[in-house]
Structure 1
Amino acid sequence: MGSRWRKAKLALSCLHVPRTDDDAPPSAASVGRLSDVALLSPAGTGSDFSMPTTPVPSSSGLRLPKHGSKSSKWTCAICLNNMKPGQGHAIFTAECSHSFHFHCITSNVKHGNQICPICRAKWKEIPFQSPSDLSHGRARMSNVDWPRNDNRSTMLRRLPPHADANRHISSLFHSPEPSVFDDDERVNHQPGNTENGSFNKDVAAQTIGAIEVKTYPEVSAVSGSTSHDNFAILIHVKALTSRKHSCGVNEANMSPISQFSRAPVDLVTVLDVSGSMAGTKLALLKRAMGFVIHHLGPSDRLSVIAFSSSARRLFPLRRMTDAGRQEALQAVNALTSNGGTNIAEGLKKGAKVMTDRKWKNPVASIILLSDGQDTYAVSSSPGGGHPQIDYQALLPLSIQSNEGTGLRIPVHAFGFGADHDAASMHSISETSGGTFSFIEAESVIQDAFAQCIGGLLSVVVQELQVVVDCVHPWLKLGSVKSGSYKTRLPPDSRQCFIDAGDLYAEEGRDFLVTVDIPVDGSSNEMQLLKVRCTYKDPITKESVTLEEVDVLKIQRPEITRESVISVEVDRQRNRLRAAEAMAEARAAAERGDLAGAVSVLARCTEVLSETLSAQAGDQLCNDLAAELREMQERMANRQVYESSGRAYVLSGLSSHSWQRATARGYSTDSSSLLQVYQTPSMVDMVTRSQTMVFGSSSPQPSSDRPARSFRTQRQTSR
């Protein structure tokens, strides 16, 4: 026994293994933290994943604790739940020494997996269930020479030579599917819900999504004897949450997501499992999906679409109860990589799940991840030039945000690595109303997913519409700067409508409008605008109208002193300037004029430095300048731009146009600018991703070591 165990340890020297009486005490180096990513990586690559003994926030993944295997020894790597003996669950110990719940690993084997989910060792014998034996309470063991624990009931079947471990997965992509995806699990919004699926009003009343509206004039006074063209007014809208205090509960110790009753989510993840995702990428994707599954609640529903050369729905929309989580984890763990990249087919399948569903949760979204070019939607350009992709065709019409469709499903796209088609992914997200994130480093894929679901799990306002009315009879609206949000301005220009979409808890929107102030000496005060908001409460599904908003006024004295420009207005002007410069630079870069693109960004940086808010030390202005300089570096030459510059710029444009946080570069915190758009729920979820210990449902104290930005990592590698 001792000899066999020592041989196994030698073969798996890159992994931490349990001690036996024959083992020497572990060295100091062996008790360091091992990333669970290393455990999921193919054998033979362990040396590439040696992790520091202190946690680095920018490296994502569920991590093993410092003290070795004690806390993870009794944790099932498939369902992540406890598996101590005596809790009514049979436990299977494989020949590679790793243990799992018997029902978890038999389901894995049934789905075609015949290798260890932890160390990837090929098993000669696998567990199987015999109905006759189970009915008599018996367990069978094959005649092998490894220890038997009386507390562990195991049944094994010897594999035939050269068994095809991927046979089931291969057939999964080619077996018939239902013509209509109406087999989703019925929603369960709240305990005590009625037959028609409406929410329990007593529960919903515990939290009310409220809208806060503030207006800021460019200056507080304009002389009544003079006019002022293009007078800027900032409209700030923010979603607040009022919470009903629970007796004996300290809200300060609760996570932002748990502090209010939230709307359940229907989430469809469309995952690239093409051949280029083999190895570490797929392992990290599985780990990230495990994190998502772990943080969805029993009222949330999940469906997973896997695509390569074709696309396949792995399972219908299922509520993430204990049983639902186990099914989802097993399906994700069974994924293998092969074939080409058919993004369009994956999106069509994801859209079909959403459109065909019989039951609906209030919040719905699609997450799309791909690391490569779409190899099935390429058409030759006129004249035989470089092949062009019809980006619009990649998005099914059923989920485009077209008026009158009655369905708006945002696609949050994640471009993974240096070879993905950033322009296509950005186009897909922009058309659907979602965001585009650039995952440059493999280690932050989980953090990027965490930030996204941190927002989706905190929606408190839906279908927000901001209505701006001119109050003074001579006043008319000029421009309305609303980014990617749709704006309607009637011919008389006395009113405008801004469709601001959904808001996460504590999330804000800033809109800059201009008016022409006429000469008017009839009064010492002029009323300019009033703002109204209408939205839908996602929990009660009721429409809410907010009209109790003060009218914005300015002073109109005969003579005014030197006007002081509002810092709030100036900083939003800077944000819009920077976003416009990014779009102009990107257009120049796509034409091949990288020098012109860098010049545009440099000029904008110089203009920002001369503004009032910059001279006052405004943090947003400083962050914008830093972001523009980063983009200049990523446009240094064609190779750098193709590998990372384009994706970095497009992710920045997506973030600014929707005023929503996106992952960029090597980290979800690669620029403090992203913190402007991050909500408390996003921050909390990313912290959980960066500090969660493998097998624990509660986050551990984070390291004092800050996450390194792209710039710091690049300088370190030189």
Structure 2
Amino acid sequence: MEGAWRKVRRALGLRLCVRTPAAGGELRAPSPAGGCRGDAAVTVAAAGESGPATQAGALRRSKSGGRSSSSSKGKCAICFATMRSGRGQALFTAECSHMFHFHCISSNVKHGNYVCPVCRAKWKEIPCRSLSSNSPHGRIGINPNRSPQQDSHMVLHRQDPNRRRDVRRLHTSEPADFNDDEPLQHKEGFDNLNFGSTKTPEISSYPEFQTVPQSSSLDGFDILIHAKAPTASSGHITGSLVNETSVRSSSRAPVDLVTVLDVSGSMAGTKLALLKRAMGFVVQHLRPSDRLSVIAFSSTARRLFPLRRMSHHGRQQALQAINSLGAGGGTNIADALKKSMKVIEDRSYKNSVCSIILLSDGQDTYSISSNVQGTSTGHRSLVPFSILNDERHMVPLYAFGFGADHDSDTLHSIAEASGGTFSFIEDEGVMQDAFAQCIGGLLSVTVQEMRLSMECVDPGVQLCSIKCGSYPCKVARDGRNGSVDIGHLYADEERDILLSLTIPKSREQTSLLRVACAYKDPVTNETIEIQGDEVKIKRTISTVSEPVSIEVDRERNRIQAANAIESARAAAERGALAEAVTILEDCRRVLSQSFASQSGDRLCMALDAELREMQERMANRQLYEASGRAYMLSGLSSHSWQRATARGDSTDSTTLVYSYQTPSMVQMLQHSQNHCP
């Protein structure tokens, strides 16, 4: 036994004083002069040896005469796992008295962080692991049959400022192909689940008027098609962190999620700390069937780890990698996007739902100098790579612009081209809430590849146009049919499509449209088709007009507001802020006179509040540059896809953007607000 401890002592390379422990006790360094000299402590648990209360045979070098300090609640502040003696793990106690797993904190230091993750105290002594370590999963096993040289991968180094740059470069080189993703969870684990939703999307139709005079032939008769996704399964979002068995509480589809994080120099300090906290929230709410990969970028981009299932061990490794991040360098969004798409394209296995989350707080400083097609602005924007536009690889990217200096044009363009949304995080304190709202949707996808199709029934009826925001649509040349590709929907999410028709004169009831829907269940991969009811109108002799459908009028108002925002933004980019404010003011006046508004419609009130907020953010050029542009772009993104985005203070629910929130988004957002660390 004593031979083993001597080997441990030599492996640690520490000047320790050793005494033989009492039976069942722990081995401590005696304090001949009031305690051992030094600031940091390393505890190594002998593999396979433990006692009911104390660790049988351990080495300690601790502050204040061997006194050992542990972190809050006995958990490692990096991976959040419990720190227990006797599990073959090394524990590191810093001079500030906070304790961590040795493999967690050594990885943190390897990437250049020389401050305590808990109290931010600067360390004089830092843990370091040599690159030749063969210990699996970072666990330090003590084997008495191994030589001191074989066990010499765990040491303490006195910090040398001149070595900081070298230490930051010590990371594993990336493979040429990213086909090293972890296999999906075995399906046997789900055999007892009733996969697939028993409900189907709801398709409703609302003609502009229920009756039309027989003598009238109308051009531009509007019909609203309303689609709503099935409700989420019960227990979809729990009030506690996920565990290995929580997957049985609901039957949602597993997710492949790639997060792309800006760690440039401008993210140093509080920003990076809040980003790590937000990512910790995301990691803890993924299930063992979900997979996560993280890409960090500054002057270049690097993959921290491949797509990995978020089992207990997977979450520990993910949190360790995230907490090891340090800030520095420029902002290379292009390289980050290439790497994120490579992760998705090269994967050997595929979960049915896949998304990218991108966060940046600065202007791209590398090779992006082209303008977005179809815009009148002269601002530099990123034209997304062809792989983002290739339908075979269409993966929605959800972009988050952080603070006043981010490139909102670029981020909005990337998100728009991929089918994702752009969110504006104005207050750094609500970053976690913004992420929570986003994943509340991503973790509740109930419909994929949804397509609405409509066919004219009466020979004289023709389909003129489809207003559906950014969703791809087409109308046949003869105007007899058309379609809209909705794609994926979150649980309870709704979409409104406004159709414009030509209606002939008729003395009898007129059948206008027949609507159908086809989609894929993301859990069963089954394609399901739904036939909707025919849309009909009555023909009367009377010419007395009836009130317009409030559903149709509400959607007209929303489209009109979105168009006004786009026009005002174009004017603002030309420098005509006064003209932009006038455009929004005119739209507010028109909306106030609409039938829906005069009926007290809440959506109209939210639209008015949204437009008024945008006017205030265009009071001067400085304010517009700092927040007005990003606020308007996040609003356009939300209207374009009819999906909730974070904008400004994400706790403010008075603006229109939050009318798109789903119950799953709201529940996850509340969970974030109620469980802030």
With normalisation by structure 1, the TM-score equals 0.77
Kindly state the Cα deviation for residue 165 of structure 1 after the two structures are TM-superposed: 4.8
Residue ranges of structure 1 left out of the alignment (5+ in a row): 9-68, 141-154, 194-199, 695-718
Contact 1:380 1:387 in 2 (8 A): no
Q: What does residue 545 of structure 1 align with? A: 529
In the alignment of these two chains, the number of paired residues is 591
* Structure 1 residues 89-104: aligned runs within 5 Å: 91-104=91-104
Matched, 1:558 2:541: yes
Deviations 1:379-410 (A, max 9, x none): 499xxxx9953521xx222122x4xx412111
Deviations 1:217-243 (A, max 9, x none): 111111112223211111000111375
Matched, 1:399 2:388: yes
Could you tell me how far apart the structure 2 residues matched to 1:162 and 1:483 are? 54
* Structure 1 residues 495-506: aligned runs within 5 Å: 495-506=481-492
Q: What does residue 258 of structure 2 align with? A: 268
Q: What does residue 164 of structure 1 align with? A: 163
| SS of 2:213 mapped into structure 1 | coil
Larger gyration radius, structure 1 or structure 2: 2
Question: Pick from 451, 468, 475: which aligns with 1:465?
Answer: 451
Name the aligned partner's letter for residue 518 of structure 1. Answer: P
Contact 1:257 1:457 in 2 (8 A): no
Deviations 1:58-85 (A, max 9, x none): xxxxxxxxxxx99943332111234467
Deviations 1:20-69 (A, max 9, x none): xxxxxxxxxxxxxxxxxxxxxxxxxxxxxxxxxxxxxxxxxxxxxxxxx9
* Structure 1 residues 613-652: aligned runs within 5 Å: 613-652=596-635
Q: What does residue 320 of structure 2 align with? A: 330
The change in CA–CA distance for 1:593 and 1:106 in structure 2 (over 3 A counts) is: closer
Kindly state the Cα deviation for residue 162 of structure 1 after the two structures are TM-superposed: 3.8
* Structure 1 residues 419-434: aligned runs within 5 Å: 419-434=405-420
Name the aligned partner's letter for residue 439 of structure 1. Answer: I
Name the aligned partner's letter for residue 116 of structure 2. Answer: C
The change in CA–CA distance for 1:257 and 1:594 in structure 2 (over 3 A counts) is: farther
Q: What does residue 441 of structure 2 align with? A: 455
Using CA pairs below 8 Å that are at least 6 residues apart, which structure has the higher relative contact order? 1
Matched, 1:662 2:645: yes
Name the aligned partner's letter for residue 534 of structure 1. Answer: A
Q: What does residue 583 of structure 1 align with? A: 566
Q: What does residue 146 of structure 1 align with? A: none
Question: Pick from 308, 317, 320: which aligns with 1:318?
Answer: 308
* Structure 1 residues 212-291: aligned runs within 5 Å: 212-241=202-231, 243=233, 260-291=250-281
Q: What does residue 501 of structure 2 align with? A: 515
The change in CA–CA distance for 1:534 and 1:610 in structure 2 (over 3 A counts) is: same
Matched, 1:191 2:188: yes
Question: Pick from 294, 298, 310: which aligns with 1:304?
Answer: 294
Could you tell me how far apart the structure 2 residues matched to 1:554 and 1:387 are? 48
| SS of 1:406 mapped into structure 2 | helix
Kindly state the Cα deviation for residue 321 of structure 1 after the two structures are TM-superposed: 1.0
Could you tell me how far apart the structure 2 residues matched to 1:406 and 1:398 are? 8
Name the aligned partner's letter for residue 388 of structure 2. Answer: I
Could you tell me how far apart the structure 2 residues matched to 1:442 and 1:285 are? 9
Could you tell me how far apart the structure 1 residues matched to 2:419 and 2:402 are? 20
| SS of 1:230 mapped into structure 2 | strand
Indicate the larger mover: 637-646 or 119-128.
119-128
Q: What does residue 482 of structure 1 align with? A: 468
Contact 1:206 1:260 in 2 (8 A): no
Kindly state the Cα deviation for residue 679 of structure 1 after the two structures are TM-superposed: 0.7
Matched, 1:122 2:122: yes
Residue ranges of structure 2 left out of the alignment (5+ in a row): 1-30, 40-68, 149-153, 372-376
Deviations 1:235-290 (A, max 9, x none): 000111375x8xxx999999999863111111111111111111111111111111
Matched, 1:438 2:435: no
Could you tell me how far apart the structure 2 residues matched to 1:160 and 1:603 are? 63
Question: Pick from 170, 175, 178: which aligns with 2:175?
Answer: 178
The change in CA–CA distance for 1:165 and 1:125 in structure 2 (over 3 A counts) is: same
Question: Pick from 531, 535, 551: which aligns with 1:568?
Answer: 551
Kindly state the Cα deviation for residue 542 of structure 1 after the two structures are TM-superposed: 1.6
Q: What does residue 73 of structure 1 align with? A: 73
Contact 1:413 1:428 in 2 (8 A): yes
Q: What does residue 49 of structure 2 align with? A: none
The change in CA–CA distance for 1:590 and 1:515 in structure 2 (over 3 A counts) is: same
The change in CA–CA distance for 1:331 and 1:460 in structure 2 (over 3 A counts) is: same
The change in CA–CA distance for 1:70 and 1:468 in structure 2 (over 3 A counts) is: farther
Kindly state the Cα deviation for residue 594 of structure 1 after the two structures are TM-superposed: 0.9
* Structure 1 residues 320-359: aligned runs within 5 Å: 320-359=310-349
Indicate the larger mover: 179-188 or 83-92.
83-92
Could you tell me how far apart the structure 2 residues matched to 1:113 and 1:250 are? 37
Contact 2:237 2:668 in 1 (8 A): no
Could you tell me how far apart the structure 2 residues matched to 1:205 and 1:133 are? 42
The change in CA–CA distance for 1:258 and 1:426 in structure 2 (over 3 A counts) is: farther
Could you tell me how far apart the structure 1 residues matched to 2:413 and 2:302 are? 23
Contact 1:614 1:621 in 2 (8 A): yes
Kindly state the Cα deviation for residue 561 of structure 1 after the two structures are TM-superposed: 3.9
Could you tell me how far apart the structure 1 residues matched to 2:238 and 2:80 are? 28
Percent of residue pairs identical: 56
Contact 1:471 1:527 in 2 (8 A): yes
Name the aligned partner's letter for residue 595 of structure 2. Answer: L
Deviations 1:169-206 (A, max 9, x none): 3343xx6432211111111264347xxxxxx5x63535
The change in CA–CA distance for 1:251 and 1:653 in structure 2 (over 3 A counts) is: closer
* Structure 1 residues 27-42: aligned runs within 5 Å: none
The change in CA–CA distance for 1:321 and 1:184 in structure 2 (over 3 A counts) is: same
| SS of 1:492 mapped into structure 2 | coil
